[in-house]
Structure formats: structure tokens, C-alpha cells
Amino acid sequence: MDVTGQEERFRQLFAEEAEGRLATLSELLLELEAASGDAEVLASVFREAHTLKGSAAVVGLGEVGRVAHAMEEILDGLRRGERAATPTLVDALLRAVDGMRELIPAALGGDDRAAEADRLVAALQEPSAAGTTPEPPEPASEAGRPAETIAAPAGGIRGGETIRVPVERLDELVRLVGEAAAAYLRVGRLMAERLGLDPAGVPELRELSRVLGDLQQRTLRARMVPFATIVEPLRRATRDLARSLGKAVELDLRGQETELDRGVLEQVTDPLLHLVRNAVDHGLEAPAEREAAGKPPTGTVRVHAMQLGSEVVVTVADDGRGIDVGRVREQARKAGDDLEGVDDDEALYAIFRSGLSTASSVSQVSGRGVGLDVVRASLEAVRGQVEVRTEPGGGSEFRVSVPISMAVLPCLLVEAAGQRYGIPMHSVLTTEAAGWTEASVEGRPVIRVRDQVLPVSSLAATLGTGEAAAGPAVVVASLTRRHAFQVDALLGQREVVLKDLGRLLPRVDLLGGASVEPDGAILLVLDASGLVERARRTVPVAGVPVPSGTPARQAPPVAHASILVVDDAPVVRELERSILERAGYQVRTAADGQEALAMLAAAPGDLVITDVDMPRCNGFELTSAIRAEPELAGLPVVILTSKADDADHRRGLDAGADAYVVKSAFDEQALLDVVARLLGGAAAVGAPSTSADGGPR
């Protein structure tokens, strides 16, 4: 490695180490302020600043070193008793920490930040210039996010126990393990179909299954990070906002060792910051008001994290004034949402709706009805739930529940209209036996659960896959609403290895992901929030809810038409198979173009749907090979790919494709429309090719 390469490597290592040291510095400074200059804490702060200064000098980041040196000078004065750890002084030191967070990536990018470093040093040397107290940081700013790498302890790698691994490598490892598990399922299926052997009866396959399961659990475990990762921004948010509002607040943090998936923790950080700010701003009274109510002048915000089964529950509670439900109803009415007939417990959840705020005035912190709406949106993204409890004069409690991992999700398996679906267990409140549909309100079937009357919809009708059938009901909870769904049967509970379908089906808000079943079939996992929202938009027709806007049933497909689906991604391949088989087609699958050509040579079939990026033989090459073979030249070919560039589109059509469908614009009906048109002879070879919407290209 040349000198330049070595220097760059050392700088990147410094940046990673500095990230941990700055977080530690911020935590220690807050402890120093709370402990009134405790000598042991002060010594730890001094060591961190001194080490940071030396490391910055070694890698040539002089601006960072100058700021760290100025911090060191102030800390030395504290050690000698020449200064006191006042809130004003800690403000200046915390600003220096934040400043270095910005200086380091800028310096690594080659930016000249000497003026910024000068400003930070000057602020440290005169933290109370002209007798004024520096303005606290804007409460709305975020103190940080979980690190983008799995961080070693602040002091660096010790004893070979911890290494830094970029999260992209962990994500790739998880993906490869999932692909290995899918390949194992395919091998077992082939053995059963071609050799008549039960995979469970082959010792080597049983051992391979055990090893793959263990490997999958360990790779998922490697993505886990402790809740303590976001403790520093929570402390900063509490401290800075309390200072700006003139309130005395104590933050009680517990369960910092609780672990959850890095991606889930990143997604839940913003909601927790909003809830903590909400508690300090809305919940806690000013000291004088608290004393007048017989409370201690210092308010308490408690943030407790714990693992409960497959979920992590984080409680954010305060001992403040509580939520004024009457005020919530009034503001909801002004926003056009009448809560008449809704009990107080249910009315509380209106605070999560966009634009609704109970604040009496707009400030930098609150009053625009945005904060709790962000909480709702962020939690829905990770299939989280929130419960709210409040007591007038006694405070409020927000209980946030999120799955430990989005990769493996415990699900209740149900059957509706002959199809299996998974519903995340944390969204399932209860199940009820058949026989509840006799009751109705305004012509709509209802069910009574825990003294609540809930609407009931057919799951099949809500999904648009069939009619209702007599069967049990599953009560599902979205973030703010509850709804019951009638299903054909309950199939039990189990953990589902989840695959994301975001790129393939970006517009389908009912789906949270999918999984490949042991028999090779696709299991769709439903999203509770999207499901409940879709059901609420349905209208009762002859006693059966039918989704508004449901398209008319299409004409039956060509009898016994055989379609070959070619895609190297098992989930996508099986999803397409499921859609086409439900429509009545006979479907074969291949993992790449070479396998597809071999299958077509044995039995040509009636239509091919192919991806582009595949090993051995890609979709363009497969299409060209089909057109070059006289016996296959007239076979319709549909390219279904994530490649949306015009150049790729032209290349596909030049290769001889009859239709080019981009996955980002994909939906089930569009695919079926294209297939029906091509099989019906509307687009013979040589005719103008069309896109998924049928328009000429």
C-alpha cells in the first residue's frame, strides 16, 4: 500500500474511533454537570479530550486537534479548581463536541474549516463573553443517530475482543444466508419430486438444515446493537430542551443493555426523541406550577427498555400534568375529525394525526402538530405499536413496542380464499371462533372484544382475492385503530424469515414482506396498518365488505396456457408463480437463462417472463436466444426488471421482447393484463412492443 493509501486508511480509522470518543465525551460532560465537577468523572473527560487531540495530530487533522486542545485547557482549569462545571461552561464544551462531529468528515473530504475551528476555540476561551450566557442549542436539532458501523469501545480495539465491521457487510452476510436457506429448500423439493425421497429422512440434509438455522440466528444476532447506542442523544435532548424552557428535569434511563436490530433501532430513534421532547415540553410543568400542585420542582422523564418475547418495549413516561382529552377532542373537531361516540381511551390516539396539536402557541419545539405524526409514521415503518395512558395531574405514559428484528418475525398463519398469509403476532390482539357475524351496526358486521365493538371485514374481500367464508375472526391492531378480519382457518404460529418487497411492490401498502415456504410456495406477510386502513375504506355489499374501487374480474385466461418464469431471486420468482397460478395458468420456474433454455428445449410452453440480471445467461441474452431458435421464435417474452433506464428498455426491445415491465411500476393486475393480451394474440412478434400500461413504446 502506498503512503497516500496508508494515510487515508489511518484517517478513516481515526474517524471511526472519534465517533465513539465524541459520544463518550458528551455523556461524560452531562455526568460532570450533574455531579457538580466530580473528580473521577472530570479525569475521564480529560483523558478522552487528550486522546482525541493526540490522535487528530497524528493523522494531520490540525483543526480538530486545536479544538480538542482548547477543551483540554478548560478541563485542566476545572481540575485545578479555577473554574466550576456550570451549565454555561458545559454548554460551551458540548458545542465543541458537536463542532468536532462536523469538522471531522469535512476535513476528511478536504474542506478548509480553519475559520470554523477558530470560532469553536474562541467560544471555549470565552464561554461567558460580555457576561451573557450562550444560547442553548435549538431543541429541535438531533444530537446524533446510531453509528453506521458496529462500534468498538471508545478506547478502540482491546484484547482482540471487538472489531469494527461496516454494516453493509453484515447485511450482505444476512442476505447470503437467506439465499443459502432458499437453495436448501429447492434441493429438498427437487429430491422429493424427482427421487421420491423425504428430505427429513436424509441425515446429511437434516444436519445441513440445523447448521443453516444456527448460522441464520448468529448472523441476525450480529446485527443487534444495545439500546445504550441512543442514550447520548436522549440525554442531550432532555438537557438542552429543559434548559431552554427553564425547567428542572431528571432523566431516568433503564434497560440500556437491551438489544435489537440496528435497522429497527435507527428507525425508532426519532420517535423516542420526539416522545422525550414532548414529555419535557407538553408534559412537565414549570417548577413553580409543580410546587403549587404539591409536586417536587424537578420533573422526571422515565425511559425504560426491555425485551418481551420477540419484541422490545420502550416506555417513555413523565410525572407531569397529563393529556387534556377534552382539548384533544376540541382540536380534532377543528381539524374536521369528530370524535363523538368515541371513548376517552380511543380519543387519545387522535394526537398522532397530522396537524393536530394541543399546544396553546407555536414555538420552536411544538405547536404545529408534526412531532407525534412523525412518531406514527416511523413506527408504522417497522410495524411498531404504541399505547397511551394518561392521568390528569399524574402524568402520561407512551409504550412503544417494536419487533427485535425485521428479518425474522413471529407470525400467525391464516388461510383466506385458499391462500396462506402471515400476520405479525405483535399486531394480533386475539382470535374469535365463528358465530359472531349476527350482530351488525349500520349494516356492517361487528364483534365485541374486551368491551369494545369492532367492525369485521372479510380478509379475502379486503385483499380482493375472493369472497367471505364462515370462519374464525382475527382482531388486528394498527398503530391507532383495531379491526377484525374473518378468515377461512387459523393455521398456527411460527417464525417467518422475512424478505423485503419494497423495490418490487412499492405501492402495495398491505404487504410487509414475504417468505419462501418449505414447499417452495410464497407466503405473503401482511402489514397491519395498511390492512386496517384498506378495510376502513370498504363498503358493505350484501353483508360482505368489498374494497371500494375493486376492479372487475378479468376474463378467464387461455385454457391450460403454460408460462415459464425466469428470475434468480427465489422470493420474486415464487411471487410471480403465485400470482399466475391463482389466475389459472400453469407455471414453471427457472433460476437463470441457461436453465430456462434447457427447459424450453424440452417443452416450449406458451410465454416467458424473465428478469434481466441473472448469472450464466441474463434476460437480454435469453430473449435473443429464443428469437434465434426457429422453434421458439414466436414465443412471447415479457421482461420484468428493476432496470428503468431508456437504454435498457431499448436493449430489451431490440433483443425481441414483446413487453418491458419495470418492477417499480409493477402490480398484480398489470402483469395479468400483459400476459392475457400476449396470449390472446394482441401482440404478435414484430408488432409494436408495449409497456405494462399497454401504451406503445
Helix, strand, coil percentages, rounded to 5, for the chain: 45, 20, 35
* 613 or 646, greater pLDDT: 613
545 confidence band (pLDDT: 50, 70, 90): very low
Distance (Å, rounded) from C-alpha 364 to C-alpha 360?
Answer: 13
9 confidence band (pLDDT: 50, 70, 90): low
249 confidence band (pLDDT: 50, 70, 90): very high
Res 148: pLDDT: 34
Q: Is the pLDDT of residue 682 over 80?
A: no
3-state class (DSSP) for residue 302: strand
Res 479: pLDDT: 61
Beta-sheet strand order (sheet of 522-526): 489-497, 408-416, 419-424, 522-526, 511-516
Chain centroid to Cα 385, Å, comes to: 13
Res 571: pLDDT: 60
Query: What mean pLDDT value characterizes the chain?
Result: 75
- Is the CB of residue 397 less than 8 Å from the CB of residue 389? yes
CATH class of 408-546: mainly beta
Distance (Å, rounded) from C-alpha 291 to C-alpha 309?
Answer: 41
- What CATH code is assigned to 225-403? 3.30.565.10
Res 636: pLDDT: 92
Res 655: pLDDT: 87
Res 689: pLDDT: 33
Distance (Å, rounded) from C-alpha 111 to C-alpha 104?
Answer: 10
Tens of pLDDT along 63-85? 888 888 888 888 888 888 888 88
* 138 or 282, greater pLDDT: 282
Tens of pLDDT along 529-538? 778 878 876 5
Distance (Å, rounded) from C-alpha 4 to C-alpha 534?
Answer: 57
Q: Is the pLDDT of residue 318 over 90?
A: yes
Homologous superfamily in CATH for domain 3-135: HPT domain (1.20.120.160)
- Dihedral-angle region of residue 322 (phi above 0 means left; psi in -120 to 50 means alpha; beta otherwise): left
Q: Looking at residues 396-415, what average pLDDT do you find?
A: 82
Res 369: pLDDT: 40
| % of residues, the chain, pLDDT over 90 | 10
- Is the CB of residue 518 less than 8 Å from the CB of residue 495? no
Res 451: pLDDT: 59
Q: Is the pLDDT of residue 157 over 50?
A: no
Residue 696 buriedness (CB in 10 A; 0-12 / 13-18 / 19+): exposed
Q: Provide the b/e sequence for 48-73 (b: ≥16 CB within 10 Å).
A: bbbbbbebbeebebebbbbbbbbbbe
3-state class (DSSP) for residue 407: coil
Distance (Å, rounded) from C-alpha 392 to C-alpha 592?
Answer: 64
What DSSP state is assigned to residue 584? T
Instruction: Please report where in the chains the cell 478536504 appears, as a residue.
Output: 110
Tens of pLDDT along 442-495? 556 777 765 567 788 888 888 877 766 678 888 887 766 778 888 888 888 877
Cβ atoms within 10 Å of 198's Cβ, excluding its own: 11
* 697 or 298, greater pLDDT: 298
Q: Is the pLDDT of residue 546 over 60?
A: no
- What CATH code is assigned to 562-679? 3.40.50.2300
Tens of pLDDT along 337-387? 667 767 777 777 778 775 556 555 444 445 434 457 778 777 877 777 788
Tens of pLDDT along 184-193? 877 887 888 7
Res 649: pLDDT: 81
What DSSP state is assigned to residue 696? B
Tens of pLDDT along 605-619? 899 999 888 888 889
Res 610: pLDDT: 92
Distance (Å, rounded) from C-alpha 241 to C-alpha 493?
Answer: 45
Lowest mean pLDDT among 299-313, 315-329, 490-504, 574-588: 490-504
Chain centroid to Cα 116, Å, comes to: 36
CA-nearest of 53, 73, 50 to 65 is 53
CA-nearest of 578, 178, 667, 627 to 589 is 578
Work out whether the CA dihedral 144, 375, 31, 363 comes out positive or negative. positive
Res 519: pLDDT: 61
Element counts in the chain: helices (H) and strands (E) = 20, 27
Q: Is the pLDDT of residue 40 over 50?
A: yes
Q: Is the pLDDT of residue 300 over 90?
A: yes
Residue 204 φ/ψ, nearest 5 degrees: -65, -40
Res 64: pLDDT: 85
Q: Looking at residues 646-659, what average pLDDT do you find?
A: 83
566 confidence band (pLDDT: 50, 70, 90): very high
What DSSP state is assigned to residue 126? -
Residue 492 buriedness (CB in 10 A; 0-12 / 13-18 / 19+): exposed
Distance (Å, rounded) from C-alpha 12 to C-alpha 670?
Answer: 48
CA-nearest of 502, 500, 499, 470 to 486 is 470
Res 285: pLDDT: 92
* 178 or 82, greater pLDDT: 82
Q: Looking at residues 316-331, what average pLDDT do you find?
A: 88
Domain boundaries, the chain: 3-135, 167-222, 225-403, 408-546, 562-679
Q: Looking at residues 241-269, what average pLDDT do you find?
A: 87
Res 295: pLDDT: 93
- Is the CB of residue 63 less than 8 Å from the CB of residue 114? yes
Q: Is the pLDDT of residue 598 over 80?
A: yes
Res 532: pLDDT: 83
- Dihedral-angle region of residue 366 (phi above 0 means left; psi in -120 to 50 means alpha; beta otherwise): beta
| % of residues, the chain, pLDDT over 70 | 75
Instruction: Please report where in the chains the cell 353483508 appears, as a residue.
Output: 543
Res 692: pLDDT: 34
3-state class (DSSP) for residue 485: strand
Distance (Å, rounded) from C-alpha 643 to C-alpha 663?
Answer: 8
- Supply 398's cell numbers: 407512551
